[in-house]
Structure 1
Amino acid sequence: MNTKYIDLISQTYDFPQDEFTLKNNTLNFHDIDLMKLVEEYGAPLKFTYLPKISENINRAKGWFSEAIQKNNYKGTYNYCYCTKSSHFKHVLNEALNNDIHIETSSAFDINIVENLKAEGKINDKTYVICNGFKRDQYIDNISRLINNGHKNCIPIIDNYEEIGLLSEGIDKKFKVGIRIASEEEPKFEFYTSRLGIGYKNIVPFYEKQIKENKKVELKMLHFFINTGIRDNAYYWNELVKCLTVYTKLKKICPTLDSLNIGGGFPIKNSLAFDYDYQYMIDEIVNQINLTCAEADVPVPHIFTEFGSFTVGESGGAIYEILYQKQQNDREKWNMINSSFITTLPDTWAISKRFIMLAINRWNEEYERILLGGLTCDSDDYYNSEQHMNAIYLPKFKKEKPLYIGFFNTGAYQETIGGFGGLQHCLIPSPKHILIDKDEDGNISTKLFSEQQTSKQLLNILGYEH
């Protein structure tokens, strides 16, 4: 009878996979022995595997290159990284090794851009696409960047006042984009995105505020769907509506030459994950080609702003199972030595599911369990996998420590969780390490941050100065 954990995984999924392999009864992630990480650094532990960032950037570039060639597309492709997914310097440094551009969303992003410029990581030719609702500080920072010579900084207009505010702060001619306020999916709580300007108002807005404004040049139309790039009728319908606006605008605005289709590529959230990236890109490029040919306008240069896709699959978290609580005749709670609310906030905030696997003891019997965090909060739990309505792990044995890993957690979790700040129930942020690999395949690790101390938390709370 197949009752071992390895039997369950092998029968349920196609296993091993490119990034997940088994060696000596323990899990390896991109050839990294995770138990060795635990032995060296302890748990709870967060890690970032930097080479995965470059790998995903170059995968996307390759897919677009193939689609452009296949469709005889006359425009270029520009990969932008959406910094809000992870602002950390080690992430930006790795991403910028791959000849990419940047998308920002708030005022302090511009300070990061200026820091990267000072260090020679980017230059005035790097596109800095400035999204978000812009008020004083953001406007001031964008103005400073453009006034200091960054000609490829493109503020994306989000509301009717921003052209005037930017014109007051910028002392030279500058380029802008306009964000389309897309219609949301029928199941959403509202009909239209709060971001951008409505489809029907784009052309009148251009004619009223930009066409005769000698200081402003419209370069880009920006389009983003909140639910991401998916092969469904809703996405293709919204894309066609966007392209219709683009062609109308292009006929009266010769300087418009770029279409930004935003982000939204999904990342692997299960061992059963299946998404045909190449097909989707081929279809997007084909749709743009066809619509522009029908309208007899040149095709635009394509921009994307991939955030989660860039950095998500580089991250992971490892926890130890501290104890098992049998709460009734059916439910067993395995308690981790950290908190889901503080370290993986998306698991409770939006019920997001990550890949979860045991790190060790794969050759032992498994059981169905629930996972609980350390906070005294009923929402601090994890109870199912993406393609299963339950969690199975090797049986808890107090004398045999069990470690579990959550993978592809690299986007948003640190910033939403408030890295370096207060944590719910004062559960400390775990240790964080960076993992790299050289050209010869040698793996190196580096401590990025220690686990938070009580002194740090008390300082924030005003108890120590």
Structure 2
Amino acid sequence: MNTKYVDLINQTFDFPQPEFALEKDKLFFHDIDLNKLVEAYGTPLKFTYLPQISNNINRAKTWFDSAIKKYNYKGEYKYCYCTKSSHFKHVLDEALKNDIHIETSSAFDIDIVESLKASGKIKDDTFVISNGFKRAQYITNIARLINNGHKNCIPIIDNYEEIDLLSNEINSTYNIGIRIASEEEPKFEFYTSRLGIGYKSIVPFYNKQIKNNPKVKLKMLHFFINTGIRDTAYYWNELLKCLKVYISLKKVCPSLDSLNIGGGFPIKNSLAFEFDYEYMIDEIINQINVTCEEEGVDVPNIFTEFGSFTVGESGGAIYEVLYQKQQNDREKWNMINSSFITTLPDTWAINKRFIMLPINRWNSSYERVLLGGLTCDSDDYYNSEQHINAIYLPKYDKEKPLYVGFFNTGAYQETIGGYGGLQHCLIPAPKHILIDRDVQGNIVTKLYKGQQQSEDLLNILGYNKTPETSETQEQKNTTFSTIS
């Protein structure tokens, strides 16, 4: 009878897979011996495998190039990285090796762009697509970037007031885009996205505020739907509606030459994951080509803003099972040495699924378990509701440590969880390891940041303030008289 964990995986999935392999009973990820990583750095830990960022960028660029050649498409393709997925410098440095462009979401993003530009990572011809609802500081920072000569910064207009706000601070003519307020999927809580301008209002908006405005040139139409790019009737219907707006706008606005189809490529969340990226890109290019040809307008340049697809599959987290609690006759809780709420907040907030596999002991027999985190919150768990199937792991043995890995966690977890700050129940943030390859292809690891210490948290909470900090704070204190 096949009762080993390795037998369960082989019977359930097509295994090994391109990024996963097994040597004896130890798991390898992109040829990285994860057990050696644990031996070197301990757990809990997070890691970022930098080469996967470049790998995914170039996969997408190859698919688009192939479709453009196949259909003799006359426009160009521009790959943008959606910075809100992960703002870390090591992520941007790796992504920018691949001749890509940037999409921003807030004022501080522009500060990051300027820092990267000063270091030569971003060039004058790099497109900076500035999305989002623009508060005063974001407007000021965009204007500063453009005033300093970055003509390829394109603010995407999200509401009717933004053109006037931008024009008040930008000294020269500048290019803009308009975001379509897409209609959400029927089962969604509301009908229309809060972002952008409605389909029917875009051409009137252009005629009223842009057409005769000598300072502004419309270059881009921006389209994104919350469910992402998926092969559904809903997606193709929304894309067709977007193309109708583009064609109507193009007929009255010759300067319009680009269509931004946003992001939303899914990433692998299970060993059973299947998604035909190449087909989706092929069909998107085909539909745009055919629709524009039928209407007699030039096809647009295509921009995408892939965030999770760029960085998600580079990340992972490894925990140790500390203890097993038998809470009743059916439920066994394996307690990890960290917290899901704090280190993988998407599992708690939106029931996000990640690939979960043990790092060692694949030749042990297995059992069904629940996984629990260290916080005192009843929601700090990862079980079959979050996972595709029930969780099976090698049987707990207090004499034999068991390590569990979660993979493709590289997007959003640090920013949602609050990297470097306070965590729920003051659970310390784990150490973070960067993994790269040298020119010979050898794996190189580096400790990016150690695990949070109590002093770090006490400083944030005000218990260990330095005299200088306290004095500065006192100078800012002000007493107000009460009104009698």
| Bin for the TM-score computed over the shorter chain | over 0.9
1:57 to 2:57 alignment: yes
Q: Tell me, yes or no, if the aligned pair for 1:272 and 1:387 is still in contact at 8 Å.
A: no
Q: Output the CA distance in 1 between the equivalents of 2:222 and 2:230.
A: 18
Where 2:447 maps in the other structure, the secondary structure is strand
Q: Output the CA distance in 1 between the equivalents of 2:209 and 2:79.
A: 29
1:111 to 2:111 alignment: yes
Structural mapping, 1:10-409, within 5 Å: 10-384=10-384, 388-409=388-409
Q: Output the CA distance in 1 between the equivalents of 2:218 and 2:399.
A: 66
| 1:177 counterpart letter in structure 2 | G
| Structure 1: gaps of 5 or more residues | none
Where 1:191 maps in the other structure, the secondary structure is coil
Q: Tell me, yes or no, if the aligned pair for 2:351 and 2:385 is still in contact at 8 Å.
A: no
Where 2:316 maps in the other structure, the secondary structure is strand
| 1:82 counterpart letter in structure 2 | C
Superposed CA deviations along residues 69-108 of structure 1, whole A, max 9, x for unmatched, are 0111000000000000000000000000000000000000
Q: Tell me, yes or no, if the aligned pair for 1:355 and 1:385 is still in contact at 8 Å.
A: no
Q: Output the CA distance in 2 between the equivalents of 1:229 and 1:439.
A: 35
Superposed CA deviations along residues 154-199 of structure 1, whole A, max 9, x for unmatched, are 0000000000000001000000000000000011100000000000
Q: Tell me, yes or no, if the aligned pair for 2:432 and 2:450 is still in contact at 8 Å.
A: yes
Q: Output the CA distance in 2 between the equivalents of 1:326 and 1:388.
A: 23
1:416–1:390 distance in 2 versus 1, CA, 3 Å = same
Larger Rg: 2
Q: Output the CA distance in 2 between the equivalents of 1:386 and 1:12.
A: 18
What corresponds to 2:470 in structure 1?
none
Q: Tell me, yes or no, if the aligned pair for 1:258 and 1:301 is still in contact at 8 Å.
A: yes
Residue 386 of structure 1: how far off its partner (Å): 7.0
Q: Output the CA distance in 1 between the equivalents of 2:385 and 2:39.
A: 27
Q: Tell me, yes or no, if the aligned pair for 2:359 and 2:405 is still in contact at 8 Å.
A: yes
Residue 256 of structure 1: how far off its partner (Å): 0.1
Where 1:436 maps in the other structure, the secondary structure is strand
**TM-score (structure 2 length as normaliser):** 0.95
Q: Output the CA distance in 1 between the equivalents of 2:262 and 2:389.
A: 32
What corresponds to 2:440 in structure 1?
440
Q: Tell me, yes or no, if the aligned pair for 1:385 and 1:391 is still in contact at 8 Å.
A: no
Q: Tell me, yes or no, if the aligned pair for 2:320 and 2:402 is still in contact at 8 Å.
A: yes
Where 2:206 maps in the other structure, the secondary structure is helix
| 1:5 counterpart letter in structure 2 | Y
1:210–1:230 distance in 2 versus 1, CA, 3 Å = same
1:302–1:269 distance in 2 versus 1, CA, 3 Å = same
Superposed CA deviations along residues 382-435 of structure 1, whole A, max 9, x for unmatched, are 002877431000000001000000000000000000000000000000000100
**Same amino acid, percent of matched pairs:** 81
Q: Output the CA distance in 2 between the equivalents of 1:413 and 1:334.
A: 22
Residue 439 of structure 1: how far off its partner (Å): 3.5
Q: Output the CA distance in 1 between the equivalents of 2:65 and 2:374.
A: 47
| 1:406 counterpart letter in structure 2 | F
Number of aligned residue pairs: give it: 465
| 1:127 counterpart letter in structure 2 | F
Q: Output the CA distance in 2 between the equivalents of 1:460 and 1:357.
A: 35
Q: Tell me, yes or no, if the aligned pair for 1:270 and 1:386 is still in contact at 8 Å.
A: no
Where 1:14 maps in the other structure, the secondary structure is coil
Residue 294 of structure 1: how far off its partner (Å): 1.1
Superposed CA deviations along residues 315-350 of structure 1, whole A, max 9, x for unmatched, are 000000000000110000000000000000000100
| 2:443 counterpart letter in structure 1 | I
Where 2:298 maps in the other structure, the secondary structure is coil
What corresponds to 1:449 in structure 2?
449
Query: Bigger CA drift: 382-391 or 171-180?
Result: 382-391
Residue 441 of structure 1: how far off its partner (Å): 1.8
Residue 25 of structure 1: how far off its partner (Å): 1.1
| 1:155 counterpart letter in structure 2 | P
| 2:255 counterpart letter in structure 1 | T
Q: Tell me, yes or no, if the aligned pair for 1:179 and 1:223 is still in contact at 8 Å.
A: yes
Q: Output the CA distance in 1 between the equivalents of 2:213 and 2:388.
A: 57
Q: Tell me, yes or no, if the aligned pair for 1:102 and 1:128 is still in contact at 8 Å.
A: yes
Where 1:446 maps in the other structure, the secondary structure is strand
Residue 126 of structure 1: how far off its partner (Å): 0.2
| 1:122 counterpart letter in structure 2 | I
Q: Tell me, yes or no, if the aligned pair for 1:307 and 1:411 is still in contact at 8 Å.
A: yes
Query: Bigger CA drift: 280-289 or 377-386?
Result: 377-386
What corresponds to 1:428 in structure 2?
428
Superposed CA deviations along residues 258-282 of structure 1, whole A, max 9, x for unmatched, are 0000000000000011000010000
What corresponds to 2:480 in structure 1?
none
Q: Output the CA distance in 1 between the equivalents of 2:364 and 2:447.
A: 32
Q: Tell me, yes or no, if the aligned pair for 2:353 and 2:387 is still in contact at 8 Å.
A: no
| 2:83 counterpart letter in structure 1 | T
